[in-house]
């Protein structure tokens, strides 16, 4: 794998791989660790060929001990390295919960220590992974001061946000959606770029309803918006891109313009990020609202393995259409 020299089309997965490759070339303090990321190239082949290129000390295969290798990465980060940890599946991040929330997140508050650590977490459903390989764990960490959380929806954002995360001096949980890996393609610029952490983006400008979302729900929302346009409903789609810290300014600006809001996420409904956004809108946008805030999310169950049940479980385009029609008519 080599650095890009011309504009080129890549998948979401390839964009992640390119970002890692370019940052490892740019900065010798960047190294990778995780399960099966060496000769095998990782569960999803993101790091294929990396160990041969950079050596076993910069692409470290680890034991099956998330708490152990995340702890090691935190120590390395505090000593000036820039580790990038791969969780084979985001679900397994719970095994390192103490290390992330008690050590990585709090060290700067405790005594000013920088912890430039990135944890790559392949998350989400739609690939029939079942209840132990399909989780959306963002809400677990959203409540933890000291962490940053990003969730790109496009190949461009995936590359730019990963580069920004690696260069950041704070611990970042980088949520990469498995469903998007080989489904999203985009022509990327040849020059080096980052996508700033903490900045949302309006992926589609609209005037009637603001739909606030992230990750794999962004293309779903855009598909719904095209269908609603034929019915005379103009949907604005706001892609959060960063979940912690939220771009509150852009969220409020969009909803004050449209006066109506839908919050969409794949994670289960109760206690999700959509609840916090709804609370923000109720607190700061109440006078601008012309209808109820509608949340669209998965039901409060584990992710089913059965393909028909998983399809029922995950938010769908029809859910957005129904909510938007209801809100437009309010």
What is the three-class DSSP state of 311? helix
How far apart CA 194 and CA 12 sit, in angstroms, is: 15
Tokens of 309: 């049940």
Q: Is 133 a catalytic residue?
A: yes
Closest to 267 in 3D by CA, of 121, 168, 117, 165: 121
Closest to 138 in 3D by CA, of 16, 312, 271: 271
Q: What are the structural domains, with CATH classification, of the chain?
A: 10-188 (3.40.50.970), 201-328 (3.40.50.920)
Name the active-site residue from 133, 143, 177, 265: 133
**pLDDT tens, N- to C-terminus, the chain (330 residues):** 444 456 789 999 999 999 999 999 999 999 999 999 999 999 999 999 999 999 999 999 999 999 999 999 999 999 999 999 999 999 999 999 999 999 999 999 999 999 999 999 999 999 999 999 999 999 999 999 999 999 999 999 999 999 999 999 999 999 999 999 999 999 999 999 999 999 999 999 999 999 999 999 999 999 999 999 999 999 999 999 999 999 999 999 999 999 999 999 999 999 999 999 999 999 999 999 999 999 999 999 999 999 999 999 999 999 999 999 999 999
Rg (CA), the chain: 20
What is the three-class DSSP state of 318? helix
């Amino acid at each position: 794998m080599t650095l890009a020299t011309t504009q080129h089309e890549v998948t979401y997965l390839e964009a992640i791989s390119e970002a890692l490759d370019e940052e490892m070339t740019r900065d010798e303090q960047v190294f990778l660790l995780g399960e099966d990321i060496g000769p095998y190239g990782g569960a999803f082949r993101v790091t294929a060929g990396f160990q041969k290129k950079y050596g076993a000390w910069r692409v470290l295969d680890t034991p099956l001990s998330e708490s152990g290798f995340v702890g090691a990465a935190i120590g390395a980060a505090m000593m000036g390295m820039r580790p990038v940890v791969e969780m084979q599946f985001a679900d397994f991040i719970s095994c390192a919960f103490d290390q992330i929330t008690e050590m990585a997140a709090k060290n700067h508050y405790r005594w000013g220590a920088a912890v430039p650590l990135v944890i790559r977490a392949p998350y989400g459903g739609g690939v029939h992974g079942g209840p132990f390989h399909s989780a959306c764990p963002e809400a677990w960490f959203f409540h933890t001061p000291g962490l940053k959380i990003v969730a790109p929806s496009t190949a461009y954002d995936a590359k730019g946000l990963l580069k920004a995360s690696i260069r950041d001096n704070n611990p970042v949980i980088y949520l990469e959606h498995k469903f998007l890996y080989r489904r999203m393609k985009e022509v990327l610029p040849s020059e080096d770029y980052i996508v700033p952490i903490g900045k949302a983006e309006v992926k589609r400008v609209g005037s009637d309803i603001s739909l606030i979302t992230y990750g794999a729900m962004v293309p779903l929302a855009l598909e719904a918006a095209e269908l609603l346009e034929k019915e005379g409903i103009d949907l604005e789609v706001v892609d959060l891109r960063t979940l912690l810290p939220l771009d509150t300014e852009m969220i409020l600006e969009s909803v004050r313009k449209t006066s109506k809001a839908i919050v969409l996420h794949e994670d289960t409904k109760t206690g999700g990020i959509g609840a916090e956004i709804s609370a923000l809108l109720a607190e700061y946008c109440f006078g601008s609202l012309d209808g109820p805030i509608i949340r669209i999310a998965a039901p409060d169950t584990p992710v089913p393995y059965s393909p028909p049940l998983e399809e029922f479980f995950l938010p769908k385009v029809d859910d957005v259409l129904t909510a938007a029609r209801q809100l437009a008519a309010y």
